[in-house]
Amino acid sequence: MQYFMALKIGEKRVKVAQELLTRYAGHAMPALALKDNKSNIWEPVGEEMLYAVIKEDAGYMIAFCDSKGIAKSIAQWFSEDVKNEIITKIKAEQNMQEYFGKLSLPI
């Protein structure tokens, strides 16, 4: 796939993830629109929508990612109680599954 075509598709998927995460977390930032690969083959981030939780010293970060763990949107930093409330709503209303693998974040 051509770079710009993959990027446009990925950007649309990131926008959907960001809007959805904002609905639950109150704020969210865009993350990665393209899959990370070592070749010149460009692929947009996947359509799948999973959530992941990362614990850091500053609190909890919630990410929406695809099935390969590529983060499409992130929201940070939450206390454990607030994180639990957000995740409970996401699971109840979206029936979204949790991603447990290695997460690719924009760093």
pLDDT grade for 107, boundaries at 50, 70 and 90: confident
Phi, psi of 80 (to 5 degrees): -65, -40
pLDDT exceeds 90 at position 12: yes
pLDDT over threshold 80, residue 36: no
Provide the greatest CA pair distance for the chain: 44
CA distances from 91 to 2, 62, 70, 87, 95 (A): 35, 13, 19, 6, 5
pLDDT of residue 37: 74
The per-residue pLDDT of the chain, averaged, comes to 95
pTM of the complete model: 0.93
